[in-house]
Structure 1
């Protein structure tokens, strides 16, 4: 796995672990609706994933500013184009790549736990994760 691939994986995991719950709570409060809040929080996390420079400086403050802006943006109440693009991109992945991302990012497992759950070596989890994230970035970027 390349250095960039490892950095992308670490970035996505770190953003979600450190800021996901707080962003969701804040977005839900701003929008007055948990479902709309989830959409806004996903959009903010996706923005940080797409452009890591968003996290330059005080990352938490920048993410909360993005949430605030998105919560006030027209059209946020409906389906998020970015979130929908990401979900659609997930469906283009090979099943084993999709499974790895689900284990790591949706189930919150580390590499060793995902490897055990999937019955594959940790190195294979890392490789699949790298390829899956690279493919997602290509599909979402268009």
Structure 2
């Protein structure tokens, strides 16, 4: 009696193509954040491992592959920095000086955050998006935005409140940790 094998499920993400397209850029990002080439290589490897494992959660309608990979990279870099903060003696075991900068201190981190927020903003309703962009991103007063849109100030505040909730949910769906 022959055993019947179930077909192996293939992942939608072509890891080789994704690595060829985004691997070097992810490495530069990680290296710039961590200041350690070995740690940067580990980060890139972990990014593609997590992406491969979570390929079912990737939806090109929610975010581009590049944005999704950079969101994963951001989380991996943060994990790496936290890991080294807990065990600082491990940095002395490597040839490199170790982690130089904390995430968020640098242009690369802000750029990745901007990509993620831009993708998430595309997912929320137009009214909410306009209210958030005008008040939070452009720094305009609620009264001014309300007058321009021809709606009460309370409606602008309501749209901002519910828009931020929707934005947070969209970012969670994209795999971004709060």
Instruction: Give the TM-score normalised by the residue count of structure 1.
Output: 0.45
Q: Point out the structure with max Rg over C-alpha.
A: 2
Which structure: greater helix fraction?
1
Instruction: Give the TM-score normalised by the residue count of structure 2.
Output: 0.37
- Indicate the structure whose relative CO is greater, using CA pairs within 8 Å and at least 6 residues apart: 1
